[in-house]
Amino acid sequence: MTNPATHFQQLRQHIRDELAAVLDFDAACITTIDPATLLSTGSFTDEPIEDIHNQLFQNEFLKRDVHQHETLAKGPVHAASLVQSGEYLSSERYQDILLPNGWSDELRAALVIQGECWGIASLYRLKDKQPFQEKEIQAVIEQTPRLAAKLRDELFKKRDTEEDAAAEQQGFLILSHDYNLLYGNETGLHWLQTFQAFEQIHDKTIMPRPFRALGAKLLYGDIEQTAASMTRLPTGLFLSLQAFRLAQAAGQEEAVIIHIKRAQTHDILPYAAKTYKLTEREMNVLDCLLKGQSTKEIASTLFISTHTVHDHVKAMLQKTNLSSRRMLVYFFSHI
């Protein structure tokens, strides 16, 4: 059985290795993404890139640069090389971060399937190597739907959730402008250490990616006062993370407070719907089922026939590989 502390890191590393079988690169950063907010939920980063990771974070949220995560995730083109696109001369990320640290090119690919982004793959080549070629970019593009599906399906793969007493408590962390921990309650510190273990972060002064992403969104963004994301721990537990920008007192730096709590069913359902490819009408029926409504009540609520209700329930059972309506309700009430 896979150790939960390394499970997601291994998955991200496997994606890196699968891409390495398609093309050559010298370093990579494979980041899992909350498709609702496009914020990082963790990443596997090769050591040379880890050294400039904070600079890349700041560039992503502070600058208007080329091939940013949101642009690739939402745009018609999901993968691009800085050099091949010809935009490296106008990229501060290239000129101020990558080039001075010995990198000749960066290929970014949004792992998108059915319009939803579940991850970002960033691949790098050293100065003495030729930039990524068009055929290599196309090879990556061909891989992205399959890799996105792997991330999506793994997120909601059924597994027994390990109990954690901290899940019933509210966790709080206060981070400085440069992501240093200023304060935290006992539960918040528990989750900080848990995330560090899951990401295999041995330097306890380094903030895990999900927390850094929330901090960067607020501290290096424009005017946002709050940011949120949801992540699933390898133990099976879903956590909701919400960050708030703290008002700046005279002579003090800006700071962010992060609220960590167990995600509720209504927080998780939209993600589960994407994973199991539930239609909008099926989600409406599921919502009624979770409220305890009978078939007749659902038909009345949604202005459809009881026969149509049965058809939607049958379709959801097939998509989730469950055998009964009772199991369907139980499953979506306990994910």
* Residues 151, 15 within the same domain: yes
* Residues 150, 16 within the same domain: yes
Residue 174 located in a structural domain: yes
* pTM, two decimal places: 0.74
Under 8 Å CB-to-CB from 78, ≥6 apart: which residues?
Answer: 72, 109, 110, 112, 141, 144
Query: Residue 3 has what pLDDT?
Result: 45
* Residues 20, 140 within the same domain: yes
* Residues 244, 283 within the same domain: no
Domain span at 308: 276-333
* Nearest alpha carbon to residue 240 among 224, 214, 206, 264: 264
Under 8 Å CB-to-CB from 7, ≥6 apart: which residues?
Answer: 234
Residue 270 located in a structural domain: no
- Give the three-state DSSP class for 222: coil
Q: Write down which residue in 98, 123, 155 finishes a domain.
A: 155
Q: What is the CATH number of the domain that holds 149?
A: 3.30.450.40
* Residues 130, 216 within the same domain: no
Q: Are 70 and 62 in contact (CB under 8 A)?
A: no
- The 10 Å CB-count burial string (b at 16+, else e) for 261-278 is bbbeeebbbebbbbbbeb
* Residues 149, 90 within the same domain: yes
Residue 221 located in a structural domain: yes
Query: Residue 69 has what pLDDT?
Result: 92
Q: Write down which residue in 100, 121, 155 finishes a domain.
A: 155
* Residues 16, 92 within the same domain: yes
Query: Residue 5 has what pLDDT?
Result: 42
Query: Residue 302 has what pLDDT?
Result: 95
Query: Looking at the 3D structure of the chain, how many domains does it have?
Result: 3
- Give the three-state DSSP class for 17: helix
> Whole-angstrom Cα distance, residue 242 to residue 191?
14
Q: Write down which residue in 137, 155, 173 finishes a domain.
A: 155
Q: pLDDT for 178-205, tens place per residue?
A: 889 999 999 999 999 999 888 878 888 8
Q: Are 296 and 306 in contact (CB under 8 A)?
A: yes
* Residues 79, 100 within the same domain: yes
Query: Residue 158 has what pLDDT?
Result: 58
Ranges under pLDDT 50 in the chain: 1-6
* Residues 187, 305 within the same domain: no
Show the tokens assigned to 298.
């659902």
Query: Residue 20 has what pLDDT?
Result: 96
Query: Residue 218 has what pLDDT?
Result: 85
What 218-222 contacts at long range (C-beta under 8 Å, 24+ apart), as own/partner pairs, is 218/243, 218/244, 218/245, 218/256, 219/61, 219/177, 219/245, 219/254, 219/256, 220/57, 220/58, 220/61, 220/62, 221/61, 221/62
> Whole-angstrom Cα distance, residue 168 to residue 175?
23
One-letter amino acid of 60: E
Q: Are 178 and 43 in contact (CB under 8 A)?
A: no
Q: Are 238 and 198 in contact (CB under 8 A)?
A: no
* Residues 70, 137 within the same domain: yes
Show the tokens assigned to 334.
């306990």
Query: Residue 130 has what pLDDT?
Result: 93
Q: In angstroms, how far is the first alpha carbon of the chain from the final one?
A: 20
> Whole-angstrom Cα distance, residue 313 to residue 128?
58
Q: pLDDT for 69-80, tens place per residue?
A: 999 999 899 999
* Residues 173, 312 within the same domain: no
* Residues 120, 10 within the same domain: yes
* Nearest alpha carbon to residue 237 among 207, 213, 214, 264: 264
Residue 146 located in a structural domain: yes
* Nearest alpha carbon to residue 124 among 91, 177, 82, 156: 82
Q: What is the CATH number of the domain that holds 233?
A: 3.30.450.20
